[in-house]
Amino acid sequence: MLREPLRKFLHRQIVDLKEAGCYRQMKLVDSAAGARVFLQGREVINFSSNNYLGLASSGFLKQAAAQALSGFGIGAGASRLVGGNFPPHEELEKKLANFKKTESALVFNCGYMANCGLISALCQREDLVFSDRLNHASIVDGVLLSRAKLVRYNHRDMEDLRRLLARHSGGRGKRLIVTDSLFSMDGDLAPLREIVDLAAEFEASVMVDEAHATGVLGEHGRGAVELFGLEGEIDIQMGTLSKALGAFGAYVAGDSLLIDFLINRARPFIFTTALPPPAVAAASMALDIVDNRPDLRDTLLRQAAWFRQKLQESGFNTLNSQTHIIPILVGDNERALSFSQKLLEAGIYAPAIRPPAVPRGGARLRISLIATHTLADLEEAADKIQRIGQELRLI
Ligand SMILES: Cc1ncc(COP(=O)(O)O)c(C=O)c1O
C-alpha cells in the first residue's frame, strides 16, 4: 500500500517519463543470450546482448560452473572478508592479474559496484575527477558518492581536457582522469595515449573502464590498454566479467598497494556477499577461452567492420564507431522507438536507446554484434534495417 504523497510522486514521474518518450519496459527473452533469441515468443536476430563472444552459453563455462557448484554450492554465504572467500575467487584474481599484466586484481560483484567502490574510496572532497562526458553512469555515480569535484570534458576532446586540467592546476587535492576505453553507446575508443601523456604533464592519475573492451580488443583480448600498447602505464583498470566473458561480476587490476587499499576501503567490496562460486569459475574459464580462441574476437571485429560499412553505405549515421558496438543515430526518441519496433516486427531486435543513457537528441538504435552471428544473419539484418529506414524516411 502506497500512502498519498509518495503515490502522487510516483504517478507524476511515470506520466512525465511517458510524455518525454523516455518510459521503459522490459522485454522477456526466453532463451540463452545469443545471436538469435526467443523474444516474447518468437525467434529474432539479437543485437541487444553484450555477450560479444557468445560465451554466456558455452559448454565449457557451464561445465566450470557445474564443477564449482558441486564443490562450493550456489551462494557464497558471506562477504569475502568474512567467510565468503573460496578458491575460485582467488584463482580468478590471479588469472586476471596475469591477463591484465598487473601486480594484482580484485573481483567486485558487478561493474557498477566496482566503479562506485573504486572512485568513492580513492577520491575525497578536495580531489578533482576529470571525466569524459559520455562515461558510464557508474563512473558519474562513483564521483558523486566520493564528493570529489566532477569536471566533465567533451567526449574524446583532448584540447578540452588539457584546458580543464590547466584551469584546475595548483589545487591541493589529487587529480584523476577517468574514461571508458570503449564507449558503450557509441562504439568509439578513448584516445588513451594522449590521456596518459596529459596525465603525466599535469600530475594526474588515470583510470580506465574496459567493460566493453575486455576479451575483444588487443592482440590477446586484454582490452584497449593492450591495443594501444599502454600496459604498465595506467594506474587503475577495471572491467566486467559479464559482457564478452559471458559470466558475471567485475574486476579492478593494478598495483598490489591499490588492491590492498580497496580490500580495506571500498564499501561495495566490503559490505556485500561474495559472488557465487559457479559464476566466478565460469569467468575463469572464459579467460582461458579468450587466451585460446583469438578467432572469436577476430571474427567479431571483422564482421562488425563489414556490417558498419553496409549501414554507412545505406546512408545511416553510425557516429565514430570503430568496434562491435554500432550506433544508428536517429535523434528523436519516438522515431527511434518506432524504428526499433518495426524492426522487431520484421524479426530483428535492435533496442532503441534514449536519454538518459545517451545525450538529449541522441536517441539511437544500439547494434551490438556477437561473434556467433552468421553472415546470413547480418545480411538479412542489413537489408531489413535499410528497407525500414527508408520507409521511416530516416535515410
Ligand atoms: C562502461 C561500463 N562500465 C560499467 C558497467 C557496469 O557493469 P556491470 O553490468 O557489470 O554492472 C557498464 C555496463 O553495464 C558499462 O557499460
Asked whether residue 3 is domain-assigned, the answer is no
Q: What is the CATH number of the domain that holds 244?
A: 3.40.640.10
Q: What is the CATH number of the domain that holds 313?
A: 3.90.1150.10
SS3 category, 193? helix
pLDDT at 170: 82
Q: Are 80 and 243 in contact (CB under 8 A)?
A: no
pLDDT at 171: 82
Asked whether residue 9 is domain-assigned, the answer is no
Q: Are 352 and 383 in contact (CB under 8 A)?
A: no
Task: Kindly state whether residues 283 and 302 are assigned to the same domain.
Answer: no
Rg (CA), the chain: 21
Q: Is the confidence at residue 99, as pLDDT, over 90? A: yes
Cβ of 68 less than 6 Å from ligand 1: no
Task: Kindly state whether residues 38 and 74 are assigned to the same domain.
Answer: no
Edge-to-edge order in the sheet of strand 352-353: 325-331, 363-368, 352-353
Task: Kindly state whether residues 218 and 102 are assigned to the same domain.
Answer: yes
Cβ of 207 less than 6 Å from ligand 1: no
Average pLDDT over residues 255-266: 98
Q: Is the confidence at residue 301, as pLDDT, over 90? A: yes
Q: Are 192 and 228 in contact (CB under 8 A)?
A: yes
DSSP string, 145-165: HHTPEEEEEPTT-HHHHHHHH
Q: pLDDT band for position 50 (50/70/90)?
A: very high
Asked whether residue 12 is domain-assigned, the answer is no
- Ligand 1: atom nearest CA of 183 is 1
Q: Is the confidence at residue 6, as pLDDT, over 90? A: yes
**Which domain-ending residue is among 256, 271, 292?**
292
Q: Is the confidence at residue 64, as pLDDT, over 90? A: yes
Task: Kindly state whether residues 304 and 163 are assigned to the same domain.
Answer: no
Name the residue at shortest CA distance from atom 8 of ligand 1: 111
* Beta-bridge partners for 209: 180, 238
Task: Kindly state whether residues 136 and 279 are assigned to the same domain.
Answer: yes
Cβ of 46 less than 6 Å from ligand 1: no
Distance in Å, CA 112 to ligand 1 centroid: 6
Cβ of 112 less than 6 Å from ligand 1: yes
Contacts of 23 (CB under 8 A, 6+ apart): 14, 17
pLDDT at 229: 98
Distances, alpha carbon 377 to alpha carbons 54, 184, 336, 344, 381, in Å: 15, 23, 22, 14, 6
Task: Kindly state whether residues 119 and 242 are assigned to the same domain.
Answer: yes
Asked whether residue 5 is domain-assigned, the answer is no
Task: Kindly state whether residues 65 and 49 are assigned to the same domain.
Answer: no
Task: Kindly state whether residues 75 and 222 are assigned to the same domain.
Answer: yes
Lookup result for grid cell 576529470? 130
Element (H, E) at 132: strand 128-132
Question: Domain residues for 72?
Answer: 58-292
To test the pocket of ligand 1, the residue of 118, 138, 186 to mutate (highest count of ligand atoms within 8 Å of its CB) is 138
Whether the upstream peptide bond of residue 356 has omega within 30° of 0, thus cis, is: yes
**Which domain-ending residue is among 292, 319, 353?**
292
Task: Kindly state whether residues 184 and 107 are assigned to the same domain.
Answer: yes
Q: Are 92 and 107 in contact (CB under 8 A)?
A: yes
Q: Are 231 and 261 in contact (CB under 8 A)?
A: no
Cβ of 93 less than 6 Å from ligand 1: no
Task: Kindly state whether residues 167 and 226 are assigned to the same domain.
Answer: yes
Task: Kindly state whether residues 247 and 176 are assigned to the same domain.
Answer: yes
Distance in Å, CA 348 to ligand 1 centroid: 24
Element (H, E) at 96: helix 87-100
Cβ of 184 less than 6 Å from ligand 1: yes
Q: Is the confidence at residue 172, as pLDDT, over 90? A: no
Cβ of 186 less than 6 Å from ligand 1: no
Average pLDDT over residues 314-319: 97
Distance in Å, CA 237 to ligand 1 centroid: 13
Residues assigned a catalytic role? 184, 212, 243
Average pLDDT over residues 150-156: 98
Percent of the chain past pLDDT 90, that is, above it, reads: 97
Rounded to 10 degrees, the C-alpha dihedral 32/307/193/163 comes to: -100
For the chain, what is the mean pLDDT? Answer: 97
Q: Are 349 and 36 in contact (CB under 8 A)?
A: no
Cβ of 240 less than 6 Å from ligand 1: yes
Cβ of 211 less than 6 Å from ligand 1: yes
Q: Are 133 and 87 in contact (CB under 8 A)?
A: no
Q: Is the confidence at residue 21, as pLDDT, over 90? A: no
Q: How many CA atoms lie within 13 A of 184 on its CB side?
A: 26
Q: Is the confidence at residue 22, as pLDDT, over 90? A: no
To test the pocket of ligand 1, the residue of 113, 184, 252, 358 to mutate (highest count of ligand atoms within 8 Å of its CB) is 184
Residue 196 DSSP class: H
Distances, alpha carbon 198 to alpha carbons 130, 133, 158, 193, in Å: 11, 17, 8, 9
Average pLDDT over residues 20-41: 92
pLDDT at 216: 98
- Ligand 1: atom nearest CA of 135 is 1
pLDDT at 20: 87
Asked whether residue 15 is domain-assigned, the answer is no
> Which pLDDT tens digit goes with each residue over 181-226?
999 999 999 999 999 999 999 999 999 999 999 999 999 999 999 9
Which of 212, 42, 244 is closest to 138 using CA atoms?
212
Cell of 278: 559457479
**Which domain-ending residue is among 270, 292, 314?**
292
- The domain tally of the chain equals 2
- Ligand 1: atom nearest CA of 112 is 11
Asked whether residue 10 is domain-assigned, the answer is no
To test the pocket of ligand 1, the residue of 48, 109, 112, 251 to mutate (highest count of ligand atoms within 8 Å of its CB) is 112
Distance in Å, CA 249 to ligand 1 centroid: 10
Q: Are 141 and 285 in contact (CB under 8 A)?
A: no
Q: Is the confidence at residue 41, as pLDDT, over 90? A: no
Asked whether residue 11 is domain-assigned, the answer is no
> Which pLDDT tens digit goes with each residue over 69-83?
999 999 999 999 999
Task: Kindly state whether residues 188 and 83 are assigned to the same domain.
Answer: yes
Asked whether residue 227 is domain-assigned, the answer is yes
